């Protein structure tokens, strides 16, 4: 029996105990968290021994059976997520089986998988974007794939229109717009593949949707309150302050903050490279206050055990790069601390644009800061300054 972190490890996982402890240290787990992980591994090792199983049997069904047994005896670390560090370590060594990719079982699943592959390889979409397209058209494929490829050849423009009309009755207009785009894409793919008789993408109706109003911008005092809520004596506070400064000063999106890498900051030239939508790269000047906030976090906040080159990482181990959701959650937490209610990251982007306009800037400057591709997108900010618009309006005929 090997004893690591005060936890005895007997059974099939015993030979891997010290290596797993070293992996936990590399991932940045604290002593207490590492001890819990070792305890979980010890329980799994005992369970495997009692069941007459070994490390090579740790496929998904066996892991699920273990978790059922654990829930009956323990109150913590009860989900598959808790086993991610251990299984990742064992799979990396090649001693535990890799998770199997599900094999499509139905005609609809096969068709959707083919469409997803086309989006990834031929269209160059990101994995998350492709998954969104596939999810949107899933119900359409399920209905019309019943007859297989032969049934698809009977698909008509009326079927496409009827589907869109039915969906428009239950979905929000913006969602219907996204569905129309995804369905056109699917029908173009099927036409290229020869699965349908004609270019039915032209049968997808255009969806009218009144552009939504802009979010209410934050006042300068509210932005200052968000910043002040970050405890700069802690690593989390320095990280959150740096992210808030990027969002409020440069108008970045949450995904752009999350995607920022260490190599994207050129300190000598005072530039920062932003990875925007559609893999667009923009080199922008790095404001002094933004640079100071990031530098403070990198010196005294970013963990030495960070697992990648992301600027902003999780506070708790494993110290992986933050996701866009993580950035948004950090903004929401700051808003709660400041007593400002519900505020998310994108509202800071609009606040940055509004501050330019109210400070005397023009729409072209807003478009440059927000990196809009179309001037029509920036034109939405004309409604922000109503008093400035009054000077452009003509008096009503007959009014005194």
DSSP-based three-state secondary structure for 9: strand
Tally of structural domains, the chain: 3
How far apart, in whole angstroms, are the C-alpha atoms of residue 220 and residue 122? 46
Catalytic residue among 269, 277, 309, 316: 277
CB 195 within 8 A of CB 108: no
CB 349 within 8 A of CB 243: no
> Is 346 known to be catalytic?
yes
Question: Do 228 and 312 belong together in one domain?
Answer: yes
Q: Which residues contact 65 (CB under 8 A, 6 or more apart)?
A: none
Higher pLDDT, 107 or 334: 334
Question: Do 77 and 136 belong together in one domain?
Answer: no
Question: Do 283 and 329 belong together in one domain?
Answer: yes
Question: Do 309 and 350 belong together in one domain?
Answer: yes
* Last residue in a domain, options 157, 175, 203: 203
Higher pLDDT, 151 or 50: 50
Does residue 100 fall inside a structural domain?
no
Identify the CATH number of the domain in which residue 165 sits: 1.10.150
Full residue range of the structural domain in which residue 150 is found = 107-203
> Is 372 known to be catalytic?
yes
Kindly state the average pLDDT of the residues 48-63.
91
* Last residue in a domain, options 93, 118, 133: 93
Question: Do 48 and 24 belong together in one domain?
Answer: yes
Does residue 278 fall inside a structural domain?
yes
Question: Do 305 and 335 belong together in one domain?
Answer: yes
Token digits of residue 259: 């995607």
Question: Do 260 and 338 belong together in one domain?
Answer: yes
Residue 3 has pLDDT above 70, yes or no: no
Question: Do 179 and 320 belong together in one domain?
Answer: no
pLDDT band with cut points at 50, 70 and 90 for residue 292: very high
- DSSP letters, 108-174, are HHHHHHHHHHHHHHTS---HHHHHHHHHHHHHHHHHHTTTHHHHHTT--HHHHHHHHHHHHTTS-HH
Which helix (H) or strand (E) segment holds residue 386: the answer is: helix 386-390
Which residue's structure tokens are 């936990």?
24
- pLDDT tens readout for residues 215-253: 677 888 999 999 999 999 999 999 999 999 999 888 888
Question: Do 196 and 74 belong together in one domain?
Answer: no
> Is 319 known to be catalytic?
no
- pLDDT tens readout for residues 145-179: 877 777 788 889 999 999 999 998 888 888 899 99
Instruction: State CA 251 to chain mean position distance.
Output: 18
Does residue 54 fall inside a structural domain?
yes
CB 23 within 8 A of CB 85: yes
Catalytic residue among 253, 302, 347, 350: 253
Does residue 196 fall inside a structural domain?
yes
Question: Do 293 and 340 belong together in one domain?
Answer: yes
Does residue 44 fall inside a structural domain?
yes
Identify the CATH number of the domain in which residue 248 sits: 1.10.443.10
> What's the pLDDT score for residue 280?
78
Does residue 159 fall inside a structural domain?
yes
Question: Do 296 and 377 belong together in one domain?
Answer: yes
> Is 253 known to be catalytic?
yes
Catalytic residue among 36, 184, 349, 350: 349
> What's the pLDDT score for residue 391?
47
Does residue 175 fall inside a structural domain?
yes
Question: Do 191 and 119 belong together in one domain?
Answer: yes
Kindly state the average pLDDT of the residues 83-110.
85
* Last residue in a domain, options 37, 63, 93: 93
Kindly state the average pLDDT of the residues 321-341.
92
Token digits of residue 97: 């089986």
Does residue 111 fall inside a structural domain?
yes
Q: Of the given ranges (6-15, 32-41, 71-80, 305-314), which has the lowest mean pLDDT?
A: 6-15
């Amino acid at each position: 029996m090997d004893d690591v972190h005060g936890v005895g490890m007997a059974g099939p996982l015993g030979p891997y105990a010290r290596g797993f402890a070293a992996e936990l240290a590399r991932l940045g787990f604290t002593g207490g968290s590492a001890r819990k992980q070792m305890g979980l591994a010890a329980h799994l090792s005992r369970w495997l021994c009692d069941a007459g199983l070994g490390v090579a049997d740790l496929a998904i069904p066996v892991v699920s059976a273990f978790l059922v047994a654990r829930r009956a005896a323990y109150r913590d670390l009860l989900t598959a997520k808790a086993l991610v560090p251990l299984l990742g370590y064992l799979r990396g060594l090649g001693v535990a089986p890799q998770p199997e990719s599900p094999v499509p079982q139905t005609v609809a699943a096969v068709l959707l998988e083919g469409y997803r592959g086309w989006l990834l390889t031929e269209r160059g979409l990101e994995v998350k974007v492709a998954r969104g397209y596939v999810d949107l058209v899933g119900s359409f494929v399920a209905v019309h794939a019943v007859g297989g490829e032969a049934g698809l050849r009977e698909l008509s423009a009326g079927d496409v229109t009827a589907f869109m009309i039915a969906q428009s009755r239950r979905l929000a207009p913006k969602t219907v717009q996204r569905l129309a785009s995804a369905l056109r894409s699917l029908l173009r793919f099927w036409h290229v593949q020869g699965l349908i008789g004609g270019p039915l993408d032209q049968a997808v109706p255009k969806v009218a949707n009144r552009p939504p109003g802009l979010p209410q911008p934050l006042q300068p005092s509210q932005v200052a309150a968000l910043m002040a809520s970050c405890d700069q004596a802690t690593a989390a506070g320095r990280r959150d302050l740096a992210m808030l400064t990027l969002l409020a000063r440069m108008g970045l999106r949450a995904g752009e903050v999350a995607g920022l890498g260490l190599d994207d900051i050129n300190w000598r030239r005072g530039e920062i490279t932003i990875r925007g939508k559609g893999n667009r790269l923009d080199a922008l000047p790095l404001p002094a206050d933004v640079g100071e906030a990031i530098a403070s976090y990198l010196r005294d906040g970013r963990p030495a055990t960070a697992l990648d080159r992301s600027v902003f990482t999780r506070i708790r181990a494993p110290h992986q790069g933050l996701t866009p959701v993580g950035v948004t959650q950090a903004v929401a937490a700051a808003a709660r601390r400041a007593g400002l209610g519900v505020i998310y990251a994108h509202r800071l982007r609009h606040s940055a644009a509004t501050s330019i306009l109210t400070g005397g800037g023009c729409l072209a400057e807003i478009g440059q800061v927000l990196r809009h591709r179309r001037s029509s997108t920036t034109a939405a900010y004309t409604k922000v300054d109503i008093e400035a618009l009054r000077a452009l309006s003509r008096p009503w005929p007959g009014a005194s």
